[in-house]
Each structure stands twice: as C-alpha cells, then as structure tokens.
Chains A and B, each alone.
Chain A
C-alpha cells in the first residue's frame, strides 16, 4: 500500500488544466505552490501495481515537464 510524494514541474501556462487533471486521478492529493510553477503531489494506492499505473499516467499528462520522486512509504 504505497504512499509517495512527488514534485511536479509544469509548463507555465498549464497550471489550471493540470490541477484539474490531477484532481480527477484517484489516489492523488495536490498542493500547488503559490509563487512557483511547482505542484507537490501525494499519491496513495492500494498495491504496487496500481502505484506503477498511476505513475505511468502521470508521465502521460500533457504540460508536465518533470516528475521528481521525493519520498515513499509502504504501509502494511
């Protein structure tokens, strides 16, 4: 049952669209920065497989420049 956090770097004009996409993804909580093009994302999934799927979905989102993993915990 992995919990992870990421820093998302996005294209300047894509902030609102990106927030909307992320809010719809199951298991995602977001904390957008107020003065930088950065969003903190916390993911909470039930299995390693779902975690990988979610990660791959993130990589497909248009307007995201870079996804940087910061921390990860496995809750058992």
Chain B
C-alpha cells in the first residue's frame, strides 16, 4: 500500500510538473527546460490513456485521460490533436477531478411532500414519461418543453430533437447555446446563407494581424491565444484587442483599443467608410461575389413578453451603401465611441492593406448584444469589402463558448426553429427530417415557438406546464433570473432536471435525474472550427447515473415512441450518429464516418472524398464550389454573400442619473460557466473562490470603495452584493463595472436585463444600467 501511494505521489508530481511546463509554454512559446527534466515527465506509466475532447469551452482541445483501475487519475493534452498540439489550460488539466465530488448526483430524486426522495431511476423515468404524456393530453403538445445545451453531445441533441419535433410534434425545444452564439448563427445565415466559420484554426499560422472584437481570448480561449502569441513571438504577427475592458488579452496584445459599450456597431461602419473612402475596396471581389442589402431599423429589444419581429430585407446598391456610411466618418464616430480618429483609421488601415492577412475573432462581446446579428454582419462587411475571407490567414471567425455549441446546437439543431438539416419553416427540410425519422411529415410543425428567454417567460406565465432541462443550469445563466426563478418554482409547471451535480436549477425540480459525466459515456462534440470529435466511454459512472441520450430514449419508449427509437443501450451513440449523418450527406456538409472519427483527434466537415475542407467557399479548397469561379458563397441561391447596411442603435438600457454605471458580465479562466463543475475542483475553487465586482480605480476612489470591500450592485431588476476588485484581474473603463457570473452564491443575473437581439433572440449580458453602494 505504501509502495502504491509512493508511486502515485511520484506520478502526480510528474503530472504537476508537466502541467506547469506546458502552461509556461503557452505563456512563453519556445521556452526551453533542461532535456533530462522533460524526459522524466509522465509518458504513460501503467496508465491506459484514452483520447477525447476537453469538456470545458468551444476550442475543442484534444485530451488524453489516464485511467487506472477504472478511475480517471490524470489528464494531459493530446499531442496528436492539431487544435492544441498537446497544450491544455488550467481547467483542462483538472477537469476529471470534479466527478468524484461528495455531492455528486448518483441516484434519481423525486420530490414528495416537499422533500426529495431517493428513487430507482426506472421509476423516476416512469414519472417523467407519465407526466409528459398527461400534460400533452390535458393541455396540448405545446405545453411541454425541453431545454438542452451546447454541452449536450451530438447524440443527446439529436434524440431530444427527434422526440420533441418528430415524435411529439412540438417545436418547444431550445438550448442554452441561444445565450451564447445565436447571433453568430443569424449573422452567418443572413450574410452567407450557411452557418459556421468558413476558416479554421490553421488561419493562426498565416495571419499577419489578429483583431479581437470584445473577446478576452487569454482567459476564454487560452490555448488558441497561446497559438496566437507563438506567432506574435516567432514571426511578428500582431494582436489588436478591441474591447470595453482591459483584460489579460489586452495586456498581451500589441495594441489595446477601448470603446464605449454598444458603439462597436458605429466603429465597424467607420472602418467600412474608411475602406471605401481610401479606395481599399477589392472591387473585383465585391462585384463578382457580393450583393448589398438593408433591413428594418429601430427594431426593439424584446423586453416585453411575446415580442415578435421579422426583418424586411431590401436590396440596395453600392452607391446607396456608400451614402449611408457618410454618417459614420471616423470624426463623427469618435465623438460617441470614445475611440480616437487615429485608432479608427489604424484599424481600417490594417483591414484595407491588401498585403496584410487579417483574422477577426469574437465570441460573447459581439454575440450577447441587442444588435448581435448586426454587428456580426458588419464585421463580415469589412472582410467582404476587402476580399479577405475564406483564405488561409484571412477571415472572420466567431468562436463558440461551449464544447458542442456548433456540433450539437447548430448542426443537430436544438433550437426551436431548427432541424438537423435546415429549418422547420422549410417544407423540403421538414420532409427530409420526416423521412429519416420515419414519422409522418405532418408531425413536424412549421412554426417556431419559444426561444430560450421566451420559453422561461412562458413557464412563468403558466403556458408551459412541463419542462425538462438537460446539461444546463438556467437559474444561474439566464438573464433576469429574479423573474425566472419564481417562475420555475410555480406549481403550474412540472420541472425535470438532468444533471451531474445539484444546482440552483435542480433545487426547484420535481424530478432530478442523475446524469453521466462526459467521460462516463461515449459521445461526439463539434467545436468552433467545424471539427467533430468522438470519444469512447472511459470510466463507469457512479450509482444509477445515465447518459442524457439514454434518458431521453427511455422516456420516449415509455411514451409509446419505441419504434422511432430502436437503439441499443450499448451502441446507441454509434447508431444515432450513423442515422444523423444522413442529414448532411453531400459536399457542403458531409460528415466523417465514425470509424474515421474513432482513429483521428477530430475531423473538420465538410468531409469529402476522405478529406476535410479547411476553407469553405474557396474553390481551391472546397469541392462544393460549383460556379466555376474562385469563390462561391453557395449558401445563397445566387452564390453571392450579402453586405448589410446596419446602423448604430443604442443599447436597451444605458446609464442615467439613477443608475449611472454600465454593468458588463462574463467569465474567468478558472471557472466553466455557472461553476457547477469547476467550483467542485478544489484547486480551481481555491484559485478563484468567489465572484467580485471590478471597478476602474478612479470610480472606486470617487465612491470611496477599497479593494475587497462589500459593494451592492443594483439595477431595476434586482441586486447582488460582492467584494470590490480594483486593479486586479481586469480593468473596466470608467463608468463601467464588471462581474463574472460563475458564482451561484452571488447571482449577478438577478441584476441583468433580458433584452435580446430581435433577429437572433440572444440576450445581451454585457450592457445594462446599475447603481453602486457600499454595504
């Protein structure tokens, strides 16, 4: 026993050293340690190393999990993964340490007379199925809903969609990816008619400039940021950080440019103005491959229940677009964006220089925006006007937050309007789904119902009477949780929560189902660069834990849909993937066969004739291009992308006399989203034990607030008390405070506003008005 412990200690010390040396390599590319020390690091020992994707974030790093006696005891970066080349971030190294947390949900819990009673899972699934059936019989199929996740695996999302849309016949399915990248989807669809980035991470190796729009990649996408730093150090590539807050990314960048919240719209237009005014337009590219359009303006903010909006696109010409941009000269925009004329021209110059390759990266800053679709369109405008798109080192690239926001939410389509291929509004797409699902075509309704925010409003109103959440924690992550928590507590709605740990959402559940964690089941994720990654189950889950996909299948069978879900418990992941793949057959979205995915550390789609397509819409790389030209934006019927005329419009709520500060919310490197997993990893919890509110030092001085002092942040919706943080992790601009949302004991989303982009329906967590008081 002593020998075993000594071996384990020695092993863990080598792991710890390896983690630190790898982390150092991410900070200092090219760093060298003595070779004898590297040789002594863990190479395998007696462990069995099993490959898979990381659980935390949308980068999709490849991991190797060391398994010993049926337990996951170590994690290291997969050197064969082209995503991370063996690197991992601090969350990645420690991810498996949460699964043995003392409060792990290991058995189903059913609320009886106000208390939770441990219940056999088969009995709990009976209750769920019966309740769902009974609700449909009494109140109709649109009275039941499912709310899933960008962390659901591809099979999990697929069977949820099949159950709700194909079997039951309701579009009441949406997911938490609505909260993080719906604006990117709407941006891609309106501009290109096809979702997801055209480029891939290999762009990093070629770009001369990386321009990050409201995106703290050093903390949110650290491995990709380290790849950018490597290019900065090795060949002089430049990183320009364009943001509303000074972060670790700003500090590592060549230049940091700060802007007033919401004015990114105006600055993007000013860049386009400069590109046109200076004759930097790639005329040949624009004439051949682009159309111009404008949409509705003054489109609202969705703060009222049952908000409806439909854009009315209207074709315009280049001269009209040029005229529109006259309102966005750098001189005019500088006045309200707080970006200097010089900096606006500097940015335009980078994009406009035909000899410089530029990649734009963004994530939540542009997506969680009441004009999220517009700002996505505007960054595409810049790349289209200059023809810097769909080529190695040139392109716009929206990063995702979650490990399968692309693979599951966007590609499988776990949104109310989506199907695994296309949208419910399109008859052809409904017919294809009905054929593959073997359901009558009429089963699939043609109208979308509730997007995430409206779904929880419908629960609060009593319109939804049954909701099942999987792999998500909406009572920490939704905006304006002060409304939605009491809504879910109402007796009018039966709440089922599948999760790995107890959360504030499971606290209001009628039935809690114990879910398998990531490596306790087989699955597939799809990352930001269209890479599909498969993994096999690595360890057994505790107690009666069950994969979410299998829970859905068991409920479907109990509801009488067994014929539609003929999968076996042992091989359901493989069977479901093979069925799902049929939706994407063809050169535009072909997915790799499972046997290829099992061998490789992920494969990028479209996968055509045994090869990945790294740059879509470029005939040199993309076999789906069929117009005989160099570029083909085949998502649009005429093969042309759209340059959109989109104005600057103010935020839904701006600071005023009563609420004089902007509130911006976000994440920190140590914690994954609502912290339900990472706060159970001791080293991460200790490194970042609680949330805080960041101040600009001048504001702190004016208010007499000192570091660590308790401060109450109040909006028109609610309040939250947190310790002040001055000159520590990040530095907000004057007049702005920043709070991370990972801490369920300091619920900042009680304070945020549930305004959303009327096109994408994605809420804006980055801007609302608050006041600040010392407690």
- Is A31 a contact of B8 with CB atoms below 8 Å? no
Q: Of A33, A38, A71, which contacts B16 at CB under 8 A?
A: A71
Q: Cβ of B20: which chain A residues have Cβ within 8 Å of it?
A: 5-7, 31, 40-42, 70-71
B318 within 8 A of A: no
- Is B17 a contact of A33 with CB atoms below 8 Å? no
A26 within 8 A of B: no
Q: Cβ of A31: which chain B residues have Cβ within 8 Å of it?
A: 17, 20-21, 33-34, 37
- Is B13 a contact of A40 with CB atoms below 8 Å? no
CA distance A68 to B90 in the complex (A): 11
- Is B93 a contact of A71 with CB atoms below 8 Å? yes
Total contacting residues, chain A, CB less than 8 A:
26
A20-47, CB under 8 A of B: which get 1 and which 0? 0000000001011111101011101000
- Is A4 a contact of B683 with CB atoms below 8 Å? yes
CB distance from A37 to the nearest CB of B (A): 9
CB distance from B331 to the nearest CB of A (A): 42
CA distance A69 to B684 in the complex (A): 9
Q: Using a CB-CB cutoff of 8 Å, which residues 451-510 of chain B contact chain A?
A: none
CA distance A61 to B27 in the complex (A): 23
Q: Cβ of B27: which chain A residues have Cβ within 8 Å of it?
A: 7, 38
Residue of A nearest to B89 (CB): A70
B94 within 8 A of A: yes
CA distance A47 to B21 in the complex (A): 25
**A-B residue pair count with CB separations less than 8 angstroms:** 88
Taking each of A7, A31, A35, which has the highest tally of chain B beta carbons within 10 Å of its own beta carbon? A31
Q: Cβ of B34: which chain A residues have Cβ within 8 Å of it?
A: 31, 34
CA distance A35 to B233 in the complex (A): 14
CB distance from A75 to the nearest CB of B (A): 5
Q: Cβ of A68: which chain B residues have Cβ within 8 Å of it?
A: 23
B682 within 8 A of A: yes
- Is B682 a contact of A71 with CB atoms below 8 Å? no
- Is A5 a contact of B5 with CB atoms below 8 Å? no
Q: Cβ of A44: which chain B residues have Cβ within 8 Å of it?
A: 9, 13
- Is A38 a contact of B28 with CB atoms below 8 Å? yes
CB distance from B13 to the nearest CB of A (A): 5
- Is B12 a contact of A75 with CB atoms below 8 Å? yes
By secondary structure, the A interface counts as: strand
Given the known interface contacts A34-B33, A44-B9, A71-B90, the answer about A7 and B17 at a Cβ–Cβ threshold of 8 Å is no
Q: Using a CB-CB cutoff of 8 Å, which residues 1-22 of chain A contact chain B?
A: 1, 3-7
CB distance from A25 to the nearest CB of B (A): 15
Q: Using a CB-CB cutoff of 8 Å, which residues 12-44 of chain B contact chain A?
A: 12-13, 15-17, 19-21, 23-24, 27-28, 30-34, 37
B686 within 8 A of A: yes
Q: Cβ of B687: which chain A residues have Cβ within 8 Å of it?
A: 69
Q: Cβ of B17: which chain A residues have Cβ within 8 Å of it?
A: 5, 29, 31, 40, 42
Q: Cβ of B19: which chain A residues have Cβ within 8 Å of it?
A: 5, 70-71
- Is B9 a contact of A71 with CB atoms below 8 Å? no
Q: Cβ of A6: which chain B residues have Cβ within 8 Å of it?
A: 20
- Is A75 a contact of B8 with CB atoms below 8 Å? yes
CB distance from B702 to the nearest CB of A (A): 30
- Is A33 a contact of B33 with CB atoms below 8 Å? yes
Given the known interface contacts A3-B12, A3-B16, A29-B17, the answer about A70 and B23 at a Cβ–Cβ threshold of 8 Å is yes
Q: Of A4, A7, A34, A75, which contacts B23 at CB under 8 A?
A: A7
CA distance A69 to B37 in the complex (A): 20
Taking each of A6, A71, A75, which has the highest tally of chain B beta carbons within 10 Å of its own beta carbon? A71
Q: Cβ of A3: which chain B residues have Cβ within 8 Å of it?
A: 9, 12-13, 16
Q: Of B15, B30, B31, B686, which contacts A73 at CB under 8 A?
A: B15
CA distance A38 to B32 in the complex (A): 10
Given the known interface contacts A3-B13, A31-B37, A71-B15, the answer about A40 and B24 at a Cβ–Cβ threshold of 8 Å is yes
A74 within 8 A of B: yes
Q: Cβ of B93: which chain A residues have Cβ within 8 Å of it?
A: 70-71
B667-696, CB under 8 A of A: which get 1 and which 0? 000000000000000110011000000000
- Is A38 a contact of B31 with CB atoms below 8 Å? yes
- Is B31 a contact of A71 with CB atoms below 8 Å? no
- Is B5 a contact of A75 with CB atoms below 8 Å? yes
Given the known interface contacts A71-B93, A75-B9, the answer about A5 and B31 at a Cβ–Cβ threshold of 8 Å is no
CB distance from B28 to the nearest CB of A (A): 5
Q: Cβ of A32: which chain B residues have Cβ within 8 Å of it?
A: 33
CB distance from B519 to the nearest CB of A (A): 18
Q: Cβ of A4: which chain B residues have Cβ within 8 Å of it?
A: 16, 683
Q: Cβ of A36: which chain B residues have Cβ within 8 Å of it?
A: 24, 28, 31
CB distance from A50 to the nearest CB of B (A): 15
Residue of A nearest to B22 (CB): A70
Q: Cβ of A73: which chain B residues have Cβ within 8 Å of it?
A: 12, 15-16, 97, 683
- Is A70 a contact of B16 with CB atoms below 8 Å? yes
B207-237, CB under 8 A of A: which get 1 and which 0? 0000000000000000000000000000000
Residue of A nearest to B38 (CB): A31
Taking each of B15, B24, B31, which has the highest tally of chain A beta carbons within 10 Å of its own beta carbon? B24
Residue of B nearest to A74 (CB): B682
Residue of B nearest to A71 (CB): B19
- Is A7 a contact of B12 with CB atoms below 8 Å? no
CA distance A40 to B24 in the complex (A): 8
Residue of A nearest to B670 (CB): A69
Q: Cβ of A42: which chain B residues have Cβ within 8 Å of it?
A: 13, 16-17, 20
Q: Cβ of B24: which chain A residues have Cβ within 8 Å of it?
A: 7, 33, 36, 38, 40
CA distance A45 to B23 in the complex (A): 22
- Is A29 a contact of B682 with CB atoms below 8 Å? no
Given the known interface contacts A70-B16, A71-B93, the answer about A34 and B32 at a Cβ–Cβ threshold of 8 Å is yes
Chain A to chain B contacts (Cβ below 8 Å), 6 pairs: A4-B16, A7-B24, A69-B686, A71-B15, A72-B16, A73-B683
List 13 additional contacts besides A35-B30, A75-B12; criterion CB under 8 Å. A3-B12, A3-B13, A5-B17, A7-B23, A31-B20, A36-B28, A38-B28, A40-B20, A70-B23, A71-B94, A72-B16, A73-B683, A75-B5
A residues in contact (CB < 8 Å) with B? 1, 3-7, 29, 31-36, 38, 40-42, 44, 68-75
